[in-house]
Structure 1
Amino acid sequence: MDRRSGLSVRLKLTLSYAGFLMLAGVLLLGAAGLFLLRQGWLRTNEEGAWRQSPGTELVRGFAPTAAAVMAFLLVFGLLGGWLLAGRMLAPMDRITHATRAAAAGSLSHRIRLPGRKDEFRELADAFDMMLTQLEAHIAEQQRFAANASHELRTPLAISKTLIDVARADPNHDTGELVDRLHTINTRAIDLTEALLLLSRANQRAFTREHVDLSLVAEEAAETLHPLAEKHGVTLETSGDIAPTTGSPALLLQLTTNLVHNAIVHNLPERGTVRVNTSVRPDTVVLTVENTGEQLTPHLVSTLTEPFQRGTERLHTDHAGVGLGLAIVKTITQAHDGTLTLTPRPAGGIRITVELPATSSPSDAGSGPL
């Protein structure tokens, strides 16, 4: 935005200090003049003679002194105001430098303003915190973009290779080629849809409605029950009514991802998945717990990163696109919730999603917020 040049803040403060000091001097000298004038009238009335008017005496005796005092106050106010304004605005120079550095792309720069807490230091600390979060967000986005490009390039490269082989060998079995291309294309579509869902949740581009997590959990469990039977996994659901607000579709996707992961990454046989909802004083909790191989805390801490998979996930038919728990994390954050992953001592993992609680629609009304 183009702006016309104006007075600096330091000069404005200097003129304000000097003006205020001059005004105070005028009022003080005016009060002194009125006092002397009143004393002159009283003395004249007591003596009963009129030698000269009180005004003339005031002008001759007080006016030069008042003029000298006002000149001193003007110079002192301008000089002192300039120095005080410079000292008070010194932190702004560091904040401005950091802002310009950030605008130029240097997000690693920090103000780190020393001294006790005041308005300038609160501003500097808030700016430093914003830069830290922005730097972390951009680094995460860059890492995600690189991983997404790699993941999308893989099925495309495989498809190109299969097509080149088919073109070089006209007698090649086209049925097998079509099946493999269909599988690869399905994976690419799933990955693209997952990326779009992740972007939508990250932007919070959804309407908030009243949602009962217990009903969402039941719907997800019912949908995935055939998959659980196929894998020989027992799927159990329980819990209380858990009212919250958010996107029904995104919360269903969150729950479905959790239950799906719990089913496919389980014991080879006689595995168990438990889905539970509960209510706390200010939050509602969705817990998905499954049996499985023992996981280290370090491995568990990486599972919510995009395209991060455990070793066992890379060599199964259900490796997915590597965004299941990343989507869960993003949806949870978009709903102002917290996601906790804890390895079970006996094997498997317990995942807890905690969201802000709200009154039920019957108590607080229904519909978009």
Structure 2
Amino acid sequence: MTARKRPHRLTARMRLTLSYTLFAVTAGLLSLAVVYVGMRYVPNYPLTSSNPRYRSDAPSRQEILHSLLTASGYALALLTAVGLVGGWLIAGRVLRPLQDITRAAHRAASGALEHRIALAGPRDEFTDLSDAFDEMLARLQRSFEAQQRFAANASHELRTPLAITHTLLQVAAADPAGQDWRLLVTRLQDTNRRAIEISEALLQLADLGNAPPDLAPTDLATATGEALAAVRDEAEAVGITLTADLRPAPATGNAVLLRQAAVNLLHNALRHNLPAGAGGRVTVATGADPERPGRVHLTVANTGPQLTADAVATFTEPFLRGRGRTAETDPSRRGHGLGLAIVAAVAEAHHGELHLTPESSGGLRVTLSLPGPVEE
């Protein structure tokens, strides 16, 4: 995008200098005008002494006014010069922080987002602007780095199933007679399904970031109940006990997206739990948010390994799994690392909040808090 052409004007420093000078000269003119008006009350006749033998040399009003005008001209000329020089220096000192901000903006435009102005001095309009600009740079840097990581991780995640498919087909082509074609087809289908899931999740993330969803009165408990029905078979297969307390949770939202968010939370709770057969549990609850009046919540808590607050803070980053960036070896418990990222995007699209808290006994508690229904 090319820079917009702007008409040439005086610089801000020059405009401030001229403004200071004009103010000083105007103030001088007003002061002289007051003196000049006051001189009208000076007698306009020759002043004489009471003793006729002494001759008075006192000037007349006309002579005083003439001398006053001459001195005023020199004073105004000097005042103009002082105003220009002093105004130029003062304007430069006042505008110096803006020059620092401008240089930082040019560096940011060239891609150097790590620079900070860190303007020193007491709090004023310039330090407020500097702090706001530094905060904007920090957010831009975090967003840019997250975008870079997202692009790299998305490329890696999509390249992996394609590489697996390519390898399987190469092996099959090299030794057609020695292949278990049923097993090969099963592996290809599993790999293809995974690539489709990743692509659909990426498209969903992109849609949530580009356009606001259609919102209507709905019940978060209903969406959660449908999500529970969709994951019960998976929970039974790995021996995890599901416990639900679904109380009415009326909200204004998109029923499809809320169901998907609930499914993602349940999948995350099941797949990052205790090993199969170790007595893992998942507890699900909906209802009025006890800590935020006027809001409703969905809470999903599971058993699992001990987690730190620093690690939990990164779980909504795309492609970050519970074990880091290494996928589970068990295909039935393998995710693509986009589940919580999608839930966070759904929460943001609904003006809600997503809170992740590590449990003291191990596992994770995730709370999705949404505004209640809008009263008309």
TM-score, reference length from structure 1: 0.85
Question: Is 1:330 aligned with 2:339?
Answer: no
CA offsets 1:238-289 (integer angstroms, 9 cap, x no match): 2544444444433322211001222344443454322212322254332101
Gaps of 5+ in 1: 45-53, 365-369
The residue identity in structure 1 corresponding to 2:306 is: L
CA offsets 1:129-165 (integer angstroms, 9 cap, x no match): 0111111111111112111111111110111111112
Which protein is richer in helix relative to its size?
Answer: 1
1:312-327 correspondence to structure 2 within 5 Å: 314-316=328-330, 317-327=332-342
Residue correspondences, number: 351
- Aligned match for 1:134, one of 134, 140, 164: 140
Offset at residue 197 of structure 1 (A): 1.6
Separation in 1, partners of 2:43, 2:254: 84
Q: Secondary structure at the match of 1:107?
A: coil
CA offsets 1:275-321 (integer angstroms, 9 cap, x no match): 21232225433210123x33232654443332222349612222021
Work out whether residues 304 and 326 of structure 1, in 8 Å CA contact, stay in contact via their aligned partners in 2: yes
Separation in 1, partners of 2:65, 2:42: 14
Separation in 1, partners of 2:66, 2:317: 86
Give the aligned partner of residue 352 of structure 1: 367
Give the aligned partner of residue 305 of structure 2: 294
1:143-154 correspondence to structure 2 within 5 Å: 143-154=149-160
1:188-203 correspondence to structure 2 within 5 Å: 188-203=195-210
Q: Secondary structure at the match of 2:333?
A: coil
RMSD: 2.7
TM-score, reference length from structure 2: 0.84
CA offsets 1:1-28 (integer angstroms, 9 cap, x no match): 1223321100000001111111122222
Separation in 2, partners of 1:255, 1:322: 16
The residue identity in structure 2 corresponding to 1:73 is: L
Change over 3 Å in CA distance of 1:209–1:55 after alignment to 2: farther
Change over 3 Å in CA distance of 1:43–1:35 after alignment to 2: farther
Change over 3 Å in CA distance of 1:244–1:204 after alignment to 2: farther
Q: Secondary structure at the match of 1:24?
A: helix
Work out whether residues 306 and 363 of structure 2, in 8 Å CA contact, stay in contact via their aligned partners in 1: yes
Give the aligned partner of residue 254 of structure 1: 261
Work out whether residues 308 and 322 of structure 1, in 8 Å CA contact, stay in contact via their aligned partners in 2: yes
Change over 3 Å in CA distance of 1:43–1:219 after alignment to 2: farther
Give the aligned partner of residue 235 of structure 1: 242
The residue identity in structure 2 corresponding to 1:275 is: V
Q: Secondary structure at the match of 1:275?
A: strand
Change over 3 Å in CA distance of 1:206–1:170 after alignment to 2: same
Q: Secondary structure at the match of 1:184?
A: helix
Give the aligned partner of residue 225 of structure 1: 232
Q: Secondary structure at the match of 1:314?
A: coil
- Aligned match for 2:270, one of 243, 251, 263: 263
Offset at residue 230 of structure 1 (A): 4.1
Q: Secondary structure at the match of 1:350?
A: strand
CA offsets 1:18-62 (integer angstroms, 9 cap, x no match): 111111222221121111114447999xxxxxxxxx984564232
Separation in 2, partners of 1:88, 1:219: 63
Separation in 2, partners of 1:193, 1:288: 24
Give the aligned partner of residue 319 of structure 2: 307
The residue identity in structure 1 corresponding to 2:38 is: F
Gaps of 5+ in 2: 48-59
Give the aligned partner of residue 281 of structure 2: 272
Separation in 1, partners of 2:209, 2:220: 20
- Aligned match for 1:186, one of 187, 193, 205: 193
The residue identity in structure 2 corresponding to 1:351 is: V
Identity %: 44
Which structure's relative contact order is higher, taking Cα pairs within 8 Å and 6+ residues apart?
A: 1
Separation in 2, partners of 1:121, 1:133: 18
